[in-house]
């Protein structure tokens, strides 16, 4: 069983430590999105230097390339990618939502590879096997994200997620037993709570997931912050306190990190910060700026005065503007370092604030300044 120590509680918010075979994660923590076993535009050294504690890779993408057997041969995700810290994998369930031409049945899901059109299937069992090959410390159960916000569809997707969760757990336990015999690292399973915007379904899903007794929980299918805090309150009041909770895919907007932590989420992952960075949208304490805007052409100040990242310590807005306008690779590197550092640090600050009982002051001052409210 995954070891998780809660060291401080304040309402639903808490500070804790997740102990994995690749090290500890001090929570709340922001987990870097490393879909294809890399955080786009960044080296693992850069990720390490900017204070990242963990990364999350995607099973679907790694099944396509390079193949999960290869990653197993390399010694697992951490060895393969040279990220010698905790790792997560997402199950591939998100691709049900994001890819076209997906055929879903009780057995599993048929995809067309977006690379060469080849037919591909994932099921609870094959996703678990793939994730064990990849060898991340923490796996997500293979879940069904509904595309529709229609209650009937949402309920169906939730029920399927629950049925699949039982199969995930069974397969995971089987693989865990085999790994134990072989003396391999333990790997852990998070159940994924679904239910969309319907809090009664969310509550039902939370109870179901808790009963399956996984190592922790993912909270999935959240696409806007509207009603999120209330939903998390519902879910996290039901989930057992002694297991970690991961808010899947949220963190592009700082308010989501605050609302998430306040309502009992321990880890976050989001592609937003690095994607924003590659597209020139950069975080500052006064809100996001588009560094490509003409007004930054002769702005010789740092991107963000109070930032301790490699980018802000060494370069000006005018230089970043120039790198973006000339489409230099370094533009994306520096921007990614900054945005990733910004969210990692924000969540680190949230952790410290919960610890010091200053969370609400910090939240208020941060959000007031960031959103100009």
Partner RNA sequence: GCUGGAAUCGUCUAGUGGCAAUGACAAGAGACUGUAAAUCUCUCGGCUUCGGCCUUCGUAGGUUCGAGUCCUACUUCCAGCA
List of residues contacting RNA (CB under 7 A): 33, 35, 39-40, 56, 58, 61, 90-91, 93-95, 97-100, 114, 140, 143, 145, 192, 218, 220-225, 248-253, 256, 269-272, 274-276, 278-281, 290, 292-295, 297, 325, 327, 329, 332
CB nearer to RNA: give 92 or 135: 92
90 is catalytic: yes
CB nearer to RNA: give 229 or 355: 229
CB nearer to RNA: give 301 or 358: 301
CB nearer to RNA: give 6 or 102: 102
Determine contact, residues 195/202, Cβ cutoff 8 Å.
yes
Instruction: Give me the least distance between CB of 97 and RNA, in Å please.
Output: 6
| CA 30/CA 248 separation, integer angstroms | 11
* Bond from prior residue into 165 cis (ω within 30 degrees of 0): no
CB nearer to RNA: give 143 or 345: 143
Determine contact, residues 22/86, Cβ cutoff 8 Å.
yes
Cα-based angle 165, 183, 211 (whole degrees, multiple of 5): 20
CB nearer to RNA: give 263 or 281: 281
Instruction: Give me the least distance between CB of 297 and RNA, in Å please.
Output: 7
Instruction: Give me the least distance between CB of 88 and RNA, in Å please.
Output: 8
Per the residue annotation, which of 90, 137, 143, 266 is the catalytic one? 90
- H or E stretch including 188? strand 188-193
| CA 86/CA 23 separation, integer angstroms | 6
User: Scanning the structure block, which residue is given the tokens 């994607």?
Assistant: 275
173 is catalytic: no
Q: What SS3 class is residue 263?
A: coil
| CA 225/CA 195 separation, integer angstroms | 15
Both tokens assigned to 372: 């100009």
| CA 64/CA 87 separation, integer angstroms | 19
Per the residue annotation, which of 259, 269, 299, 357 is the catalytic one? 269
Instruction: Give me the least distance between CB of 321 and RNA, in Å please.
Output: 9
Look at strands 188-193 and 216-219 and give their pairing. parallel
- Pick from 212, 37, 229, 233: which is nearest to 141 by CA? 212
Instruction: Give me the least distance between CB of 44 and RNA, in Å please.
Output: 14
Determine contact, residues 145/159, Cβ cutoff 8 Å.
no
- What residues act catalytically? 90, 269
């Amino acid at each position: 069983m995954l070891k998780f120590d809660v060291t401080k509680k304040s309402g639903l918010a808490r500070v804790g430590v997740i102990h994995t075979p690749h090290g500890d994660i001090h929570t709340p923590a922001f987990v870097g999105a490393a879909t294809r076993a890399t955080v786009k535009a960044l080296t693992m050294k850069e990720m390490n230097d900017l204070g990242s504690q963990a990364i999350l890779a995607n099973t679907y993408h790694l099944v396509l390339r390079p193949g999960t057997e290869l990653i197993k041969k390399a010694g697992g995700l951490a060895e393969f990618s040279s990220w010698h810290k905790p790792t997560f994998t997402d199950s591939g369930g998100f691709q049900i939502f994001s890819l076209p031409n997906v055929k879903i049945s009780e057995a599993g899901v048929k995809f067309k590879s977006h690379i060469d059109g080849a037919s591909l299937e994932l099921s609870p069992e094959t996703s678990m096997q793939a994730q064990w090959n990849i060898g991340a410390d923490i796996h997500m159960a293979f879940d069904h994200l509904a595309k529709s916000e229609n209650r009937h569809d949402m309920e169906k997707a939730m029920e399927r997620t629950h049925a699949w969760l039982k199969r995930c757990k069974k397969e995971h336990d089987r693989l865990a037993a085999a790994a134990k015999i072989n003396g391999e690292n333990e790997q852990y399973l998070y159940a994924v709570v679904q239910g969309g915007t319907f809090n009664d379904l969310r509550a039902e899903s939370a109870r179901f997931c808790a009963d399956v007794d996984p190592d922790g929980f993912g909270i999935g299918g959240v696409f806007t912050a509207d009603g999120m805090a209330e939903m998390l309150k519902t879910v996290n009041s039901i989930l057992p306190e002694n297991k970690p909770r991961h808010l899947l895919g949220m963190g592009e907007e700082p308010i989501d990190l605050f609302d998430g932590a306040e309502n009992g989420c321990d880890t976050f992952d989001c592609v937003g910060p690095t994607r924003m960075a590659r597209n020139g949208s950069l975080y500052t304490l006064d809100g996001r700026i588009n560094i490509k805007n003409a007004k930054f052409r002769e702005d010789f100040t740092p991107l963000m005065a109070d930032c301790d990242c490699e980018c802000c310590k060494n370069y000006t807005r005018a230089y970043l503007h120039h790198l973006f306008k000339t489409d230099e690779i370094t533009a994306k590197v520096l921007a990614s370092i900054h945005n990733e550092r910004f969210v990692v640090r924000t969540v680190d600050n949230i952790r410290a604030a919960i610890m010091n009982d200053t969370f609400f002051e910090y939240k208020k001052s941060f959000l007031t300044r960031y959103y100009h409210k």
